[in-house]
Amino acid sequence: MSSSTRMKTTRGLKTQARFTGDGVLVVDKPAGCTSHDVVQKVKRKLGAAKVGHSGTLDPFATGVLVLLINGATKLAPFLADHEKTYLFNVSFGVETDTQDSTGKVVARQPCEPLQEREIRAACDAFIGEIEQTVPRYSAVRVKGQRLYQLARRGVEVTPPNRKVEIKDLSFCELRWPEAIFEVTCSKGTYVRSLGVDLARQLNCNGHVSQLRRLASGEFNVSQAITLEQLEESLARGELHQLLITSVQALNCYPEVRVSHLDAKRIRQGSTLDSIQFLDPGPSPGWPAGPYKVLDPDNNLVAMVSMVAKAANDRPDEGVAFKTLRVFGTVE
């Protein structure tokens, strides 16, 4: 049995295995359940103390859901802001209150079959920074309450607007009365709203009938496993083959290294002013970060950012860092 897996005992009898290690698991979320449902299912299957995720998916959506297990839940702030890629279908002619196929029809308008060149031109209008109106059925809070809760009670509120960035929006295929698109966008983009706005740009009603997340930051659907595959791997004792380490999950961040002694001091709360970085160490020309701090054994110690030095500091005295998050325990 792995050192990260323990068996719970009740009056001398072995029961469910308890996973005590850390790691990131990329799950292919099925349609019809919430992200919270998936988190709870995986938590029960692993017997883990903590499981979180780095970005929710709508219940009707499928695809990449990045789960953070035990100590890896501390990674959430460093993974949630990354761009996402989605494949989605827009069904033309019908608009719903939820902007997807689960809602009630609120508008129906015959729409003449569109030409591919029209659709491609409409896509180009959304590239760059755009302003979206948050859907009425969303988890955003207004006056302390989530919008979907207010919508279900019939309470009329004005949803807020937010600016997002569409990095790329491509038309993939026309299957009238549906069209398939792929979008890469910033955190916080509502693809349902994008689909509705895209239909309106083409002078049609529309809603998103299918939505699949293909990638979230460094993680993509080729790495994702289904809940059934997870159960099979657990039965074979192969969970370790599925997990991504915290260091691997932070591959997109530059690194700095410290000695074992300084790693221990950081975990004990020492300020970074007293830490000696190993070669190649940071220099004043480096970007602000964040950076991951590793010990000589490649263990994650902390996430840090570079900060401006005080005006009376000498420029040749190096750079200053601020600790953002500490990982691991003091041995």
Over residues 286-301, the pLDDT tens digits come to 788 899 999 999 999 9
- Percentage of the chain modeled with pLDDT above 90: 70
Let me know whether 93 and 155 are in one domain.
yes
* Residue spans of alpha helices (H) in the chain: 35-46, 76-79, 116-124, 147-152, 191-201, 227-235, 246-249, 260-267
Q: Is the pLDDT of residue 147 over 90?
A: no
Let me know whether 105 and 188 are in one domain.
yes
Distance separating alpha carbons of residues 50 and 39, to the nearest angstrom: 9
Q: Which of 22, 28, 37, 58 is catalytic?
A: 58
Q: What is the mean pLDDT of the chain?
A: 88
Which of 169, 195, 216 is the C-terminal boundary of a domain? 216
Structure tokens at 64: 């990449």
**279 among known catalytic residues:** no
Within a domain: 258: yes
Burial class (CB in 10 A: 0-12, 13-18, 19+), 113: exposed
Within a domain: 331: no
Q: Is the pLDDT of residue 3 over 70?
A: no
Let me know whether 206 and 284 are in one domain.
no
Let me know whether 77 and 145 are in one domain.
no
Over residues 170-220, the pLDDT tens digits come to 999 999 999 999 999 999 999 999 999 999 999 999 999 999 999 999 999
Let me know whether 23 and 76 are in one domain.
yes
This prediction has a pTM of: 0.88
Q: Which domain holds residue 112?
A: 84-216
Distance separating alpha carbons of residues 40 and 51, to the nearest angstrom: 8
Number of domains in the chain: 3
Distance separating alpha carbons of residues 298 and 263, to the nearest angstrom: 11
